[in-house]
């Protein structure tokens, strides 16, 4: 029988306890395919998958069945990017350094320009060992040499020459940046520890979104099928105790972030959505992963729980 899912009916699930692989139609049959420290980000570029973890950067070329450590010089890798032409591979680490490989991860060189930014000495917070990390990396196909880096804690910075030199783009933006969603070459939405922010000029100016959003801690925004999704806790992780847990909410926007409306989902307010993916880019069948290990699916204006894995989920990707 032909699978109902295209191009894959398999989900990769990055968690605090390694990486799991599961059939989308039977999440509870997941199996752990990579035993590693917390998986910070899973990304798919072409036929390759990459897992940025606290134990290194791993690559799979068999739909996530087996993984190989690419030996980035810094052990803790928080973000990964492959250039639109496929010739350059970037790894963002903790502490906040950026590495480049032009031979598919066999060797690495540091892009020292990121260290030369005027604000570099201020990138630190006690919660992260008084250091920072490159939490998000992005590039848009229509501006392939422009690299966008989100730093926790340190703001957003942009390179126009594939990572050699950098410009600070953090004015008007909360500097605790968890993720930067690229809607176009110039339009981004930054998820921060104090709100969602949007730029329409490649970070030269930022506007805080959602005057009606009464939650402030956003981990990641996601776009699919003409809709933007975002989830938030009432405030930062140290407050995620008590009966309401994270006191979380989920928001959707049908106008590129101009307005958001709350949507109910299984597990709220205790459980917080931390990860997203879509079965295909035009689909409204969006999948979400939560802090309590639950996989949710959105179809026809409703979120339902479709399975659970035994760890907090940080990232998702279709295999």
pLDDT of residue 283: 67
Contacts of residue 74, defined as CB under 8 A and 6 or more positions apart, other chains included, come to 91, 93, 94, 95, 97, 99
Q: What is the mean pLDDT of residues 49-53?
A: 98
- Quickly tell me which residue has 């998986």 as its tokens: 39
Q: What is the pLDDT of residue 241?
A: 83
Q: Considering the chain, what percentage of its residues have pLDDT values greater than 70?
A: 97
3 pLDDT exceeds 50? no
Residues 6 or more apart whose Cβ sits within 8 Å of residue 135: 40, 78, 79, 92, 150, 151, 152, 177, 178, 179
Angle at 207 between CA 261 and CA 303, to 5 degrees: 25
Residue 2 pLDDT grade (very low, low, confident, very high; cuts 50, 70, 90)? very low
Per residue in 117-174, pLDDT tens? 999 999 998 888 899 999 999 999 999 999 999 999 999 999 999 999 999 999 999 9
100: β partners: 90, 109
Contact 114, 96 (CB under 8 A): yes
What is the residue-averaged pLDDT of the chain? 94
pLDDT at residue 280 greater than cutoff 80: no
7-42 pLDDT, tens per residue?
Answer: 479 999 999 999 999 999 999 999 999 999 999 999
pLDDT score of 6 more than 60: no
Q: Which of helix, strand or coil describes residue 190?
A: strand
pLDDT at 279 over 80: yes
Going by pLDDT thresholds of 50, 70 and 90, the confidence category of residue 246 is very high
Fold of 10-318: Methylamine Dehydrogenase; Chain H (2.130.10)
Q: Domain map of the chain by residue range? A: 10-318
């Amino acid at each position: 029988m032909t699978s109902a899912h295209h191009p894959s009916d398999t989900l990769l699930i990055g968690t605090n306890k390694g990486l799991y692989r599961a059939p989308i139609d039977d999440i509870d049959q997941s199996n752990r395919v990579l035993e590693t420290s917390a998986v910070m980000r899973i990304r798919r570029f072409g036929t390759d998958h990459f897992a940025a973890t606290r134990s290194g950067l791993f690559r799979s070329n068999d739909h996530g069945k087996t993984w190989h450590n690419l030996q980035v010089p810094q052990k803790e890798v928080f973000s990964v990017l492959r250039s639109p032409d496929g010739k350059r591979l970037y790894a963002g680490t903790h502490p906040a350094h950026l590495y480049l490989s032009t031979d598919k991860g066999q060797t690495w060189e540091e892009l020292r320009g990121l260290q030369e930014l005027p604000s570099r000495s201020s990138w630190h917070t006690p919660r992260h060992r008084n250091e920072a990390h490159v939490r998000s990396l992005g590039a848009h196909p229509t501006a392939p040499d422009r690299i966008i880096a989100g730093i926790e804690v340190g703001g957003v910075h942009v390179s126009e020459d594939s990572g050699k030199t950098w410009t600070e783009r953090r004015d008007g933006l909360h500097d605790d940046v968890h993720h930067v969603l690229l809607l176009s070459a110039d339009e981004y939405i930054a998820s921060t520890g104090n709100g969602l922010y949007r730029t329409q000029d490649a970070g030269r100016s930022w506007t805080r979104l959602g005057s009606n959003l009464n939650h402030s801690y956003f981990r990641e925004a996601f776009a699919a099928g003409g809709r933007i999704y975002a989830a938030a806790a009432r405030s930062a992780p140290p407050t995620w105790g008590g009966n309401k847990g994270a006191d979380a909410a989920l928001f959707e926007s049908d106008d590129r972030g101009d307005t958001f409306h709350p949507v109910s989902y299984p597990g709220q307010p205790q459980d917080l959505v931390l990860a997203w993916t879509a079965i295909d880019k035009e689909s409204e069948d969006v999948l979400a992963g939560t802090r309590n290990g639950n996989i949710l699916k959105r179809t026809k204006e409703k979120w339902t729980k479709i399975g659970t894995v035994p760890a907090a989920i940080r990232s998702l990707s279709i295999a």
